[in-house]
Amino acid sequence: MNRSRIIENINVNWKFLRGDESQAWYRGFEDSSWRDVTLPHDWSVEEPFSQEHSSGTGYLPGGIGWYRKNLVLPQELAGKRVNITFEGVYNNAQVWCNSYYLGKRPYGYSSFTYDITDFISFGKQENIISVKVDHQDIADSRWFTGSGIYRDVYITITDAIHIDHYGVFVTTPEVSEDQATVAVNIRLSNESQADETIELSNTLRDAGGSLIESVGDEIVVKTDSCMEINQTLIVTSPHLWSPDTPDLYVLCTEIRKNGEVIDHVNTTVGIRWFEFDADKGFFLNGVNMKIKGVCVHHDAGTLGAAVPVTVWERRLQALQEMGCNAIRMSHNPPAPLLLDLCDRMGFLVIDEAFDEWEGVKHKWSTGHNVYPPKHFGYYEDFPQWGELDIKEMVLRDRNHPSIILWSIGNEVDYPNDPYCHPYFQTMTGNNDANKPAAEREYDPNKPQSDRLTTIAKKLVRYVKECDMTRPVTAALAFPKLANLIGYADTLDVVGYNYKEHLYEEARQQYPNRVTFGSENSASLEAWLAVKDNDAICAQFIWTGIDYMGEAKGWPIRASQAGFMDLAGFKKASYYFRQSLWSAEPMAFLATASKEDPAYTSIKRWHGGAPHWNWKPGDQLDVICYTNCEEAELFLNERSLGTKKLNDSSLGYLTWEVGFEEGILNVVARSAEGIGCACTLETATQPDQLILRVDISELSANGQDIAHIEIEITDSHGKYVYLADDLIRLSIDGPGEIIGIENGDVQDLEPYRSKFRKAHHGKLLAYVRAGITSGQIVVKAEAQGLVSGTVVIDVK
């Protein structure tokens, strides 16, 4: 019998009921008529968009849902301890095991664990886990939250003598290129009936499995008690973790009794050191660097909040290619699998806890900044649950080398939302004509802003009780107010949201304080405020990827702030950012009509489309995003001139060109003579569908995912950017299409449909493998177009 730790994912074969059922907690309840679902699961995206729902959360419903899981544990495991962990349930999750009530967790972003040892049966006896999810207040957020058990669920089976949940904490107190100290703190519990002598060891191996160092101690663990043990390992010539070299080690912590392993925990370890300097910015492993970050929310369009790890991997790869090296998890604890990816891929991370504390924020329900707002939200639960929620975030995530900052909150200092202060009356940033006069005036009857400092002090203390190795920050909406009331003084590192013009003032008034851009626009000016300022180490642009919710108003159901759309397809703005952030020579062409208001506005850096299909006589701006020294534009092999990037104040190059059918191409050259090119060709009518899959083989585990990109081309194979044909998908074999996304924020076709219009000539389908082997065949059809198919093996 395996006496060591067993961790089993139980995402497959859950029963689901959309609606309430008063007896569903009962073990003997008959649920055979319920739907079969695989977790992660988000029921909100299974239902139609409707204007009756909140614009803040993307016009999708909430409500109540029930989940039930049949669990059978082998008799040979009798006597073991059994815990069940939910990594995220939105929200107000209530859990039962075999009719025994385990508890409730209001915050929809917290991971939580219940010990079900006293209620579980072993052998042939079935165990029933019942979960009620109550998300009736659909305007409880400013972005899409999802509804249901939208992250992984697993059970952990241990011996009575075991390592506690989150019981291994690894730090690297001394690191250099020559040697590193790896310190391990272990919390043990003995829930057996006797004192026991055990051996506790820690073994460190590199990514290839080679032994680096091992230590061990013999320990007496008293019955019915907990204890902490510290052990230290020395690593010579360590492989240092960084965005360029995200080298990882694996630490195996083992408990042996009478020579037999009775528990073990594997922990990913990244050896690195970093520091923030008020004058010189950020240093990682002694190297000064700029943090080029983006903010992300947790949804993936058609998948809602239930986002598999491979979907995040595709998105992070694109961000990395853009030159991004950091992610701010906005504005809540992320899925653990996303942090695992950041460790492996080399992203720096801000792990953030809350968007509101005990004061409720305005939730726009009929359009962004449209009054009256709704006042649902986490504030109802923060006084009771805030300490536990932030501590569990830190305890869960503190071993991730990618995390460099803990954030206790986002924009909780927003004026009159709800905290008030006499200073508000003099603040130009508060004169928002879209708000009623009462929202622009001081109201002594509202909660006063000084309260923020009191709460912040507590939250900082809670974080440091769990981890002293990282600084604590927050994203400030109004730094002048936060400075006035002392809120900013509670932080180790101070984040300014959209306040680049205050950087110099902050440096003069607070010379010993580290300030950075915790949320910024994608403008060139916002980047230069970081690039040209040694003291400002970072910016985090809002946002890396479009997200549902925070919508301007029906029928727009999502924010379009991202460099990529809801499908993860790259926009023109992606390439402008790549030209600013990436060191790899690149060039990208886009075109825009001078009559396009989106292009001629102050946000022209979002403008341009990568196609060469216009009307004869159209006068266009041809835009080249490049990081090369110069670029030469050609139209049908005629040179339209060479331009140097240093001569442009825009950060990109433009040519005025009259449309002429044919081939438009640019050749860019770096100072070192390295060349790169980009070409646009006039396409003819849409003719065929081309399917491309990112993986040819899936595992028959019921959870593996493939991305299928569908592209419309003309008869010569040229991509037709302007095509918007309605595409119908079908699937045959051991798998299912779990979502279709085109990135169009105004497309109100229900996400459950098996058809959708192309947007900018493209469509994305997510296919999930079943639990049997075979071949999946996905077919795409559109009226008047040649259909396309793709085959995926399932093994």
> Which sequence positions are flagged as catalytic?
411, 519
In Å, how far are 50, 374, 743, 754 from 749, measured between CA atoms?
11, 26, 12, 10
Q: How far apart, in whole angstroms, are the C-alpha atoms of residue 188 and residue 198?
A: 11
Q: How far apart, in whole angstroms, are the C-alpha atoms of residue 62 and residue 584?
A: 45
Q: Identify the DSSP state of 565.
A: -
With contact defined as beta carbons under 8 Å apart, do 559 and 566 qualify? no
DSSP letters, 265-292, are: EEEEE-B--EEEETTTEEEETTEEE-EE
DSSP letters, 144-180, are: ----EE-S-EEEEEE-SEEEEEEEEEEEEEEE-SSEE
Q: Identify the DSSP state of 4.
A: S
Contacts for 293 with CB less than 8 Å, ≥ 6 apart: 324, 325, 326, 327, 328, 348, 350, 538, 539, 540, 541
Q: How far apart, in whole angstroms, are the C-alpha atoms of residue 400 and residue 254?
A: 20
Q: Counting every residue, how long is the chain?
A: 795
Peptide bond into 543 cis (omega under 30): yes
Please name the helix (run of DSSP H) or strand (run of DSSP E) that holds residue 581, with its range, or none: helix 572-581
Q: Positive or negative CA dihedral for 256, 262, 265, 266?
A: positive
Q: Which of 524, 446, 516 is nearest to 476 (CA)?
A: 516
Query: How many other β-carbons are positioned within 10 Å of the β-carbon of residue 619?
Result: 12
With contact defined as beta carbons under 8 Å apart, do 161 and 55 qualify? no
Q: How far apart, in whole angstroms, are the C-alpha atoms of residue 549 and residue 273?
A: 37
For residue 201, which phi and psi values (nearest 5 degrees)? Answer: -130, 155
Strand 14-18 to strand 35-37: parallel, antiparallel, or no bridges (unpaired)? antiparallel
Token pair belonging to 703: 């959870």
Q: How far apart, in whole angstroms, are the C-alpha atoms of residue 349 and residue 329?
A: 7
Chain centroid to CA 180: 31
DSSP-assigned beta bridge partners for residue 633: 666
With contact defined as beta carbons under 8 Å apart, do 506 and 533 qualify? no
DSSP letters, 659-719, are: --SSEEEEEEE-TTS-EEEEEEE---S--EEEEEES-SEE-TTTT-EEEEEEEEE-TTS-B
- Looking up tokens 């165990």 gives 127
- Helix, strand counts (H, E) of the chain: 9, 48
Q: How far apart, in whole angstroms, are the C-alpha atoms of residue 795 and residue 790?
A: 17
Phi and psi based region of residue 11 (left: phi greater than 0; alpha: psi -120 to 50; beta: remaining): alpha
With contact defined as beta carbons under 8 Å apart, do 791 and 694 qualify? no
Return the axis-axis angle of helices 336-345 and 309-322, rounded to nearest 10°.
40
Q: How far apart, in whole angstroms, are the C-alpha atoms of residue 506 and residue 489?
A: 12
Q: Is 492 exposed, middle or buried (0-12, 13-18, 19+ CB in 10 A)?
A: middle
- Determine the 3-state secondary structure of 412 from DSSP: coil
